[in-house]
Amino acid sequence: MAWAEVVDAGAIVIGVNALDYSGYPDCRPEYLHAFEQVAALATRAGVEGRSLRILAPLLHLTKSDIIRRGLSLGVDYSLTLSCYDPSPDGRACGHCDSCQLRARGFSDAGAIDPAQG
């Protein structure tokens, strides 16, 4: 939020997802709405009536929808990592909730996750 104010941004875009979230409270629409309210109170722009919007374009998509959309846009998923417990060399653990959700998303999309080989 502070950086958005420094660069005079009108929005922060965040890649959270509410449908498949694994208990992360900051992935809920209620949190995003509350964060916009805080930004309106805690920034000069907000106080001056220029609201800072929080945009979450993936919020209501399934993981497989996200994977398909990324593939259609040419996302190189080998450069991405969803893991919350990667190895020291940066490899996905394959066991945490985030890895499991990602694996299911790739499987449901009929695609192979390059992070899992």
User: Is residue 116 a contact partner of residue 98, using CB atoms and an 8 Å limit?
Assistant: no
Model confidence at 74: pLDDT above 90 = yes
Give pLDDT tens digits for 6-54: 999 999 999 998 876 667 888 899 999 999 999 999 998 889 998 899 9
Q: What is the pLDDT of residue 22?
A: 62
The confidence band for 97, taking pLDDT boundaries of 50, 70 and 90, is confident
Q: What are the angstrom distances between the C-alpha of 105 and each of 6, 14, 25, 87? A: 36, 19, 20, 22
Model confidence at 99: pLDDT above 80 = yes
Taking the whole predicted model, whether its pTM rises above 0.85 is answered as no
d(CA 27, CA 2): 20
